[in-house]
Structure 1
Amino acid sequence: MPQTVLITGTSSGLGRRTAEVLAEQGHTVVATMRDPEGRNRAAAEALVKEAQGAPGRIRVVPMDITSDASVESAVDAAVEQTGHLDAVVNNAGYAVTGIGESVTSDQFLDVLDTNLVGSHRVARAVLPHLRARRSGLLVFVSSGAGRITAPGMGVYSASKFGVEALAQAYRYELRTLGIDVAVVQPGAFPSNLATSQVVGADTSRLGDYAEVLGLTQGFMQGVAAAFSSPQPPDPREVADAVVALLETPAGQRPDRVSVDRFFLGETVEAINAGIRRPTDHLLASMGMSAVLG
């Protein structure tokens, strides 16, 4: 059944691809991005054009997820234009990488405001509409780096570890209200995340880190090899994971879906399973069985 889905961060990368695929599948997409009439005008027009002739449709709405007022205005506009929302995909985000000591406090605060607090802003804006209908799906796009970290990834991972915790708490809190919450955990995909990443600004701190920096370079070479393999990671795999969540009956959706055929997927899935069982046991022993599932 066609659904109405709001997606954040659709000017490029995984967000744009997800919007395109959902329209292909017949869904109505509210694609949000910053400044679609200005610096992202070309991206907005291309996205709408891409959906022409598709069974579904795409509407572009401006949203800056670092602003409460912008998020609330965008959600109100989405509901006014489409009548209601069935699902929301919290996708917008960016990466700050580099040795932890080189990342300034301002850089850290900025990425948390976008990746973590931004997801919370969107959830708070849409939940009154979903609660009123006692149904809906909240999808949080995290990362394999939301379960595993490595040298040079600490700050980005911290933001995504936070997304994992936030989404899990929402899943518990909303279960009895008929609203599902799921996390999608992409691995490394060819997208704008790598090209738009911000590197730690205080390079004066790096003198003693030559050995560790060499290790991080080796890791990135492995990612590059995967991208150039005969069957490289395809961003559509993430979009297909979102489609699968939409098509799964309410109340039966998994808490997490790892999307990674190369580096992190098997390990992330093992961590997901390893955490789920003892956590469910603990909450059940505290009389909270009603929020599990």
Structure 2
Amino acid sequence: MKNVFITGIAGGFGKPTALALLARGYVVAGSVRSRSGKNAATVAELEAAGARIIEMDVTDTASTERGVSDAISQLGGLDILFNNAGIGSYGIQELMSPEDMTRVLDVNVMGVQRVMRAALPHLRAQGRGTVLYTSSLIGRIATPFYGTYSASKWALEAIVECYRTELSGFGIESCIIEPGAMPTAFFDGMVTPNDAAREAEYGDFAAVPAMSSNGLVQMLDATPDQRPERIAEAVVALLDRPLGEKPFRTVVDYVGVGPEIERYNEVLHDVTRNIFTSFGIEQMLDLNA
């Protein structure tokens, strides 16, 4: 029996993952910004299934430190941390204000850093642990209208590359999950720009983001396998593997983009190992398969 803490447990990936792990005997706690409002029904369902729910805001350091401490206390320890809380954004990049971008980066990048700083003293002290991260396929490439979101996930990937190596000597393994676009409520909460004057300067092109978004919705409707439950299955499969035998990156995609990203990842993994070998530090990569 292992103890798991999932940030953003009420979200599109968090809920099915929590339910899948609870069904397999894991002890699960998860964070939500608020138990009430839009999360109330999901929180009730998760608690009925056995999850502990912690109110925590990853954009607030004191709240994060308090929330992680409460989770460890309620779980009776911590073996697995799943950095899953996130927020999306969509729109022409020039129209994104610095405040829009800051909001996204504060959740997707600094939020992860706050959680890690709160949880790592415990994991380092016990000399073992598994940390999972929700990234994205567009944390590997950039596509139009997702520039701010991609930037946040590119930054996350870079941070995790460093955590992977810097924590390996403490027995803490790192695993990035890279989903393709999924039909979740994530799309409903996206940060979108509000700059009508600049938008008007784009003329007819200003209508393209909405057209592109509608096309994505149609593609997802036509791809029934592209569902959040696939993320839960990927997490379960990862955690079934022994410490030190999990892959560093796992792509979850059923619309045809995944194989190209996997090919890119394989090349990067080879380049990374070659560079580390030239510096004599390749052993820092050995805690992942």
* TM-score scaled by length of structure 1: 0.92
Where in structure 2 are the equivalents of 1:104-253 lying within 5 Å?
A: 104-210=97-203, 212-213=205-206, 216-217=209-210, 219-229=212-222, 231-253=224-246
Secondary structure of the 2:51 match is strand
Asked if structure 1 preserves the Cα contact closer than 8 Å seen for 2:92 and 2:209, the reply is no
Kindly provide the amino acid, as one letter, of the partner of residue 3 in structure 1.
K
Secondary structure of the 1:207 match is helix
Per-residue deviation, 1:232: 4.0
Per-residue deviation, 1:46: 2.3
Per-residue deviation, 1:208: 4.2
- How far apart, in 2, do the equivalents of 1:230 and 1:176 lie? 42
Kindly provide the amino acid, as one letter, of the partner of residue 261 in structure 2.
V
Kindly provide the amino acid, as one letter, of the partner of residue 80 in structure 1.
S
Kindly provide the amino acid, as one letter, of the partner of residue 202 in structure 2.
Y
- Structure 1 residues 47 and 249 mapped into 2: Cα distance closer, same or farther (>3 Å)? same
The one-character-per-residue Cα deviations of 1:8-65 (angstroms, maximum 9, x if unpaired) are 111231111211111112111101111225663333112212x1xxxxx311111100
Aligned residue for 1:24?
Answer: 23
- How far apart, in 1, do the equivalents of 2:21 and 2:252 lie? 17
* Aligned-pair Cα RMSD in Å: 1.7
Secondary structure of the 2:31 match is strand
Asked if structure 1 preserves the Cα contact closer than 8 Å seen for 2:200 and 2:206, the reply is no
- How far apart, in 1, do the equivalents of 2:140 and 2:121 lie? 30
- How far apart, in 1, do the equivalents of 2:159 and 2:94 lie? 26
Where in structure 2 are the equivalents of 1:248-267 lying within 5 Å?
A: 248-267=241-260
**Which one is further off, 172-181 or 267-276?**
267-276
Asked if structure 2 preserves the Cα contact closer than 8 Å seen for 1:147 and 1:268, the reply is yes
Identity of aligned residues (%): 36
- How far apart, in 2, do the equivalents of 1:21 and 1:226 lie? 26
Aligned residue for 1:34?
Answer: 33
Secondary structure of the 1:93 match is coil
- How far apart, in 2, do the equivalents of 1:200 and 1:229 lie? 29
- How far apart, in 1, do the equivalents of 2:197 and 2:221 lie? 34
**Structure 2 residue runs without a partner (length 5+):** none
* TM-score scaled by length of structure 2: 0.93
Per-residue deviation, 1:119: 0.6
Aligned residue for 1:278?
Answer: 271
From 57, 60, 70, the counterpart of 1:64:
57
Per-residue deviation, 1:225: 2.5
